[in-house]
Amino acid sequence: MNPNETTIVVEYSLVDMLSFMGSTGRIGFAISVALVIAAIVLVFLRPRPTLCRAYTVAAMLPLLAGLADSTSIMMSAFATLGKSGLSDMAKFCSAMAEIAVPFQFGLIGSAFGFLSAALVWMRARDDQPASH
């Protein structure tokens, strides 16, 4: 590496990431937690296929919330960058990180939602009589 080059390292803690998220992203994060808790409850109950379908649709909500929050943060970040310009790379990198955080939480939340939906579907299938 050239000694004249500057390296920018952007690191954020989980608390910083949650503070970046807007209300839509926080709602998506709360839905993710609620989906996992609901899956634990539903695995012990005997869910019907109708409930399983509704649960699977609800598993997409964190991803949609993350996308919506990323879009709103993206608009404000690019407005800020438009005023200050791209000469300050630290501002540019932090703006890009702020844009990615809600989408990252949405992806992770939906992954947990779909995995728990698969568990709910498997539990519902276990209770169905075998057809020959």
For 78-118, write each residue's pLDDT tens digit. 777 777 776 777 777 777 777 777 777 778 888 888 888 88
Domain spans, the chain: 21-125
> How far apart (Å, rounded) are the C-alpha atoms in residues 34 and 62?
11
More reliable by pLDDT, 69 or 13: 69
Q: What pLDDT, on a 0 to 100 scale, did the predictor assign at position 81?
A: 75
Take residue 82 and report the two structure tokens written for it.
Answer: 């438009």
Take residue 71 and report the two structure tokens written for it.
Answer: 């879009």
Q: State how far Cα 89 lies from the chain centre.
A: 26
- The percent of residues above 70 in pLDDT, for the chain, comes to 76
Please say whether the beta carbons of 17 and 105 come within 8 A: yes
> How far apart (Å, rounded) are the C-alpha atoms in residues 9 and 24?
28
Q: Is the pTM of this model over 0.75?
A: no
84 Cβ contact list (under 8 Å, min separation 6): 91
